[in-house]
Amino acid sequence: MVVTTPKPWDEIRFALGDGKRWIVMGCADCAAVCQTGGSSQVDELAERMEDEGLEVLARVDLPSPCDRRLTRRDLKRVVRELEAADGVVCLTCGGGAQAVAELVGKPVVAGLDAHFVGTVERVGVFHEQCALCGACVLNATGGICPVTGCPKGLRNGPCEEANAGACEAEPGLECVWERIWERLETLGRIGAFGTVRPPAPPVRRPRSTGRRTR
């Protein structure tokens, strides 16, 4: 799940510029779980904008804005409002905002900041547990990710500063590689600890598995 936080109102207001008529779109998926882009947050932002003298032509909850097929279908419901609007405010992650931008052909204001892929402990408490590194080592580390669990992201640990299970880079944190050792020992797979894991492939942007058109 993509974990997001709302942008400050001043930043959103600045991005709205001179536009008067807007559509506010939220995400019923990740942003709704984070309570940053669900229907309540869409309503709150719309009301704030109306208090500022702006006109909100439609409030839309998109099931998965990042799925262009679904978004293309759902935007047909507000095609007249889109024609009349100066732009769209998206309470979604950057993927969702860009998908909307490509489809509407109008200015899109991003209302959220996306931070990481996380798991949910409870509303408001999220844990980054996947770094999207493209070279997952969970099979060899007993299901514990060292890239997100280690402040240095080490794929071969522990580091030389580890102190009997305590992390030196993050005081109060248990060394993830000690946890990995204990987990592998419990699973009877301690032999996996001694493998040298190569670094993740370097990130070359833009990243896409899709076909390039030019």
Partner 1 sequence: MSAASWVLVGRVGPEAVDRVCARLRELTPEVGVVLGDPADGVHALALAGRVLSETPDRPVVVPLVCRDRNRTALVAEARGAEALGCRGLWLLTGSPGPAEAAAVYELDPAVLAGVLGQAGVGLELWASGRLTTPAERARAGVLTGVGVSRWIVPAGGEPPEPIPGLSLVRQGPGGDLVPLEVSP
Q: Which of 6, 16, 66 is nearest to 37 (CA)?
A: 6
Give the interface size with partner 1 as a residue count (CB under 8 A): 30
172 sits near partner 1 (criterion: CB under 8 A): no
> What does the alpha-carbon distance between residue 16 and residue 7 come to, in Å, rounded to a whole number?
13
Closer to partner 1 by CB, 1 or 159: give it. Answer: 159
**Least CB distance to partner 1 at residue 84 (A):** 44
Strands 108-110 and 55-62: unpaired
199 sits near partner 1 (criterion: CB under 8 A): yes
198 sits near partner 1 (criterion: CB under 8 A): yes
CB neighbours of 106 closer than 8 A, spacing ≥ 6?
Answer: 82, 85, 86, 87, 88
Q: Which helix (H) or strand (E) holds 149?
A: helix 146-149
Strands 108-110 and 21-27: unpaired
Closer to partner 1 by CB, 86 or 178: give it. Answer: 178
192 sits near partner 1 (criterion: CB under 8 A): no
Closer to partner 1 by CB, 71 or 148: give it. Answer: 148
**Least CB distance to partner 1 at residue 131 (A):** 12
> What does the alpha-carbon distance between residue 34 and residue 18 come to, in Å, rounded to a whole number?
30
| CA angle, residues 16, 104, 18, in degrees to nearest 5 | 20
Closer to partner 1 by CB, 79 or 203: give it. Answer: 203
134 sits near partner 1 (criterion: CB under 8 A): no
142 sits near partner 1 (criterion: CB under 8 A): no
Q: Which of 68, 61, 77 is nearest to 101 (CA)?
A: 68
**Least CB distance to partner 1 at residue 140 (A):** 13
Q: Which stretch binds partner 1 (CB under 8 A): 54-62, 105-113, 129-137, 171-179?
A: 171-179
Buried-exposed string 71-110: b where 16+ CB fall within 10 A, e elsewhere: beebbeebeebbeebbbbbbbbbebbbbbbbebbebbbbb
Interface residues for partner 1 in 149-168 (CB under 8 A)? 151-165, 168
Closer to partner 1 by CB, 85 or 154: give it. Answer: 154
The residue ranges that bind partner 1 (CB under 8 A) are: 151-165, 168-169, 175, 177-178, 180-181, 185, 193-194, 196-199, 202
